Structure 1
Amino acid sequence: MSEARSDNTVTVSGHTISGVPGRFVLDARTNHLLTDSRFGPGESIQAGELFLASLVSCAMANIESTATEAGYPVTGIQVSATHTRGVADPTRYDHTRITVRIQGVGASVAETLAARFTETCPIYNTVRRGTGIELEVVAGQLR
């Protein structure tokens, strides 16, 4: 089960599905998402794709909100993201690229909107600057 939001903390949890190796259910608030590991059935979105999806979603929401607030006549936003798994170190991504296309405004405004995204998106900035992370392991019965 996912926990409710408190202040600035967001929690997502997941669990396995009996009889389907590599398939998981993720819970975020009252939303549920079926995912696969790269070793699973391969029919559902995978972790690396979820990582990219979070960047794309943040970019689109940020740009749309900023454009609306500033009165820019944006008529469409398209964002794509790719990454390359490390060759020397496959436990990380060597490179992540985000491409933003903004329709309805000129290059200068598009650059301003993209800059606002890179300045304020916590997902983008976590990737760009890195962050601390911790792991807690608990053996025993599942909840």
Structure 2
Amino acid sequence: MSTTLATASAGSRLSNEPGRALLAMRGQHLVTDSPPPLGGPNEAPNPVELLLAALAACATFVCERAAAEMGIALAGVSVTAAGDFDPRGVCGEPFDPRFQAIRLRLALDGVDAAQADALLHALRTRCPVYTTLARATGIEVSLA
């Protein structure tokens, strides 16, 4: 018996303004800007911020779902993702532009230490964004 994989997709196209692109996902649209060093207007989130936002959002939803499945009365989840990279590589200089470190900080309201550990385990094993990024670079996870 084979499992049908879920497929997610997103598209991007340049707008009429330099350094700005329009993103499309399932009929939804979002604007993204490149940062000033790349000639962008820097008014909308840049792709690096969107990647970190995707990680934070995915972690939030996995914790919410896992808590419901485990019968944990989770009162709230707040997640912050931050990452360090060398912007010189993005600008064409001979430096590695990958994230050198990613930090994920979770505030889990209404849970005890054992429940928090169970939710962190769910995050580390079930979040597709986390598991993909963690295999590419280490991600430090901590509780607030």
Query: Which of 29, 38, 41 is the matching residue for 2:26?
Result: 29
Pairwise CA RMSD of aligned residues? Answer: 1.7
Cα drift, residue 7 of structure 1: 4.3
Cα drift, residue 90 of structure 1: 4.1
TM (normalized to structure 2)?
A: 0.80
Cα drift, residue 125 of structure 1: 1.0
Query: Which of 115, 118, 127 is the matching residue for 1:121?
Result: 127
TM (normalized to structure 1)?
A: 0.81
Q: Distance in 1 between matches of 2:5 and 2:118?
A: 29
Q: CA offsets per residue over residues 88-126 of structure 1, 9 Å max, x none?
A: 834111100001110101111111101111111111111
Q: Distance in 2 between matches of 1:119 and 1:105?
A: 19
1:93 and 2:99 matched: yes
Cα drift, residue 29 of structure 1: 1.0
1:110 and 2:122 matched: no
Cα drift, residue 32 of structure 1: 0.2
- Stretches of structure 2 lacking an aligned partner (at least 5 in a row): 88-93, 137-144
Cα drift, residue 86 of structure 1: 3.3
Q: Quote the sequence identity (%).
A: 32
Residue 10 of structure 2 corresponds to which residue in structure 1?
12
Q: CA offsets per residue over residues 33-78 of structure 1, 9 Å max, x none?
A: 0110113111101100011011101100000011112111110111
- Stretches of structure 1 lacking an aligned partner (at least 5 in a row): 1-5, 131-143
Q: Distance in 1 between matches of 2:134 and 2:68?
A: 26
Q: Distance in 2 between matches of 1:73 and 1:89?
A: 46
1:84 and 2:81 matched: no
Aligned residues, how many?
124
Q: Distance in 2 between matches of 1:103 and 1:92?
A: 33
Between 1 and 2, higher relative CO (CA 8 Å, sep ≥ 6) is seen in 2
Q: Which runs of 4+ in 1 moved over 2 A?
A: 86-90
Q: Distance in 2 between matches of 1:115 and 1:89?
A: 34
Q: Distance in 1 between matches of 2:70 and 2:22?
A: 39
